[in-house]
Amino acid sequence: MAGNEGTESRSWGAGLWQRTSIASLDEWRSSSRSLLQPHLKSLCAAIDTLASATDNPAAVAARMTQVLDRCDDLEFRDPAEVTAYMILHLADRYGRVTQILERLFSAGHLPIRRRQLSVLEIGAGPAPALYAVHDFYDDLALWAQATKQQVEFAPATAMRALDRGPAWSRLLHQLSEEIHQIRREIPTFSGTLPFGVTHPDFREFSVLREHVRELESKAQAIADDFDRDDEPVSPGYARMLAQEEGVRAPSAYDLVVMCNFITNQSDVEFFRKEIRDLSDGLTPGGLLIALGSAAKKYGPIWADLKQLLQNTGLTPLALFKEPITANSDPARAELIRHQVRSSLNAVHREGGSLPAKLGDPNKAYRKFPKFQALIWKNQNPPRRGRRSPSAR
C-alpha cells in the first residue's frame, strides 16, 4: 500500500544518494542519451496534433483571451476551452514542474520508492505535473540503468488528477493516446500517463476518505461474489480480502501538486479544510508542492497558504525562497515556444481568428515569466495506524 512506501526511501539513504549523484544526472540530462528532449518534443508534438485537429477552430480562438485573462471564470465544459488552455499553458507548466523535480533531486528531497510512486495533481487542468513526473522518473530510471546505479525504484504508477472541468477527461485521454503513438520508438520504462480526471471536486475531498470509499466498494463486490456462489462471508473478511488485493486510490501520496490552482486569497479560505487535510495524505518523505505566479499581488495568497499549513506536522523546505524563471534552459524554452507558435498558427490556418491580445503568434513566449514554488515535506516517522476520515 502506498502509505507504507516512505520507510523504504529512508532505509538506504535516498537523500544522500541524490545529493552525491546530481553531477552524473546533470551530465546525463544534457546528453543525447537522456529522454528529456524526446519527452518534451513528443508532448509538444501531441499538443500540436490536437490543436490542428480541433473540430471548431473559431471557438478555440475565441477562448484564448479568457484563458489568458480570466481562467477563474471558465468552467472547462467544452472542448474549445480545454484546447485553448492546453495550447497556451500545458508545455510551459510541464517545464516548470520539471525544473522543480530537478532541484528536489539535487537537494536530496525527491521521493524514491521501490514498489509504487503515487502522485495527485489538484486543479491543473491538462495535468502538466502528472506528465512531468512520469517523464522525469522515466528518464531517471534510464539513467540509473545506464550508469549502473545500485538503486532500484518505481516509476510513476499511481497517477490521479483532480479537476472540476468536465471536458478535461476526454482531452487527457486523447493527449495520452497521441503521446503513446509518438513515443513508440522511444525506450521507456513502465509508468502511467493520465487518461482522465479521477476526482471531480476538491470540496470535501480527503485522500484517506477516497481510499476507504474504494476499499469498501471493493469489499462489497467481493462479498457479493461469495453470495452468488452461496458462500456468504462476513464484512470483516471481505474487507480483509479487499485490503490484500489493494485498490487504486492510495491511502497516502508521495507527491501532491497544486499547479496554478490557488489564484485568490478566497481560495485559501474556501478550501481551508481540504488543504490542511492534505498534510495527512502524504507518505513519510512525501511532498506537498504549490506552484503559481510570482507577481506581487500573489504575495498575500502565499502568506495565507504558509500560515494555513503551520502546525500540520509538515516541514517547509527553504529551497525556493526567490521566484524562479520558468523554462530557463534555452533549448527547452525554444521547444515550448515552437509548440505554442505552431499550435496558434494551426488554429488560425483552420479558420480561427486569433484575438489581437495575443499579438503575432510567431513572437509568442519570447520571455517566460517567473513563478513561485512552495514545498512542504512530511518528515514524520511512519504511523502504525491511521485515523478514520471522520476523526478530524
Give yes or no: residues 92 and 64 share one domain.
yes
Give yes or no: residues 9 and 125 share one domain.
yes
Give yes or no: residues 53 and 145 share one domain.
yes
Of 270, 269, 265, which Cα lies nearest the Cα of 299?
265
Grid cell of 149 as nine digits: 546505479
CATH of the domain at 259: 3.40.50.150
**For residue 30, is it within any domain?**
yes
N-term to C-term CA, the chain: 22
| pLDDT above 90: percentage of residues in the chain | 65
**For residue 150, is it within any domain?**
yes
Is the pLDDT at 392 greater than 70, yes or no?
no
Give yes or no: residues 155 and 232 share one domain.
no
Give yes or no: residues 322 and 274 share one domain.
yes
Give yes or no: residues 135 and 244 share one domain.
no
Instruction: Count CB atoms within 10 A of the CB of residue 72.
Output: 9
Range of the domain at 136: 2-198+249-377
pLDDT of residue 390: 35
Give yes or no: residues 239 and 309 share one domain.
no
pLDDT tens digits for range 270-323: 999 999 999 999 999 999 999 999 999 999 999 999 999 999 999 999 888 899
Instruction: Count CB atoms within 10 A of the CB of residue 46.
Output: 25
Grid cell of 286 as nine digits: 512525501
pTM: 0.90
pLDDT of residue 215: 86
| 91-107 and 330-349 helices, crossing angle to 10° | 160
Contact between residue 60 and residue 84 where contact means Cβ atoms under 8 Å apart: yes
Give yes or no: residues 27 and 169 share one domain.
yes
pLDDT band at 383 (very low <50, low <70, confident <90, very high): low
List all residues 6 or more positions away from 52 whose beta carbon is below 8 Å from its beta carbon.
343, 346, 350
Of 119, 120, 41, 50, which Cα lies nearest the Cα of 85?
50
Contact between residue 249 and residue 210 where contact means Cβ atoms under 8 Å apart: yes
**Could you tell me where the beta strands, DSSP code E, fall in the chain?**
117-122, 156-162, 253-259, 282-293, 315-316, 324-325, 370-377
> For 80-94, 121-135, 173-187, 378-392, which range has the lowest pLDDT when averaged over its residues?
378-392
Give yes or no: residues 211 and 74 share one domain.
no
Contact between residue 296 and residue 369 where contact means Cβ atoms under 8 Å apart: no
Q: How many domains does the chain divide into?
A: 2
Q: Decide which of 229, 248, 267 is a domain's last residue.
A: 248
Is the pLDDT at 97 greater than 50, yes or no?
yes
> For 72-81, 238-247, 266-275, 343-352, which range has the lowest pLDDT when averaged over its residues?
238-247
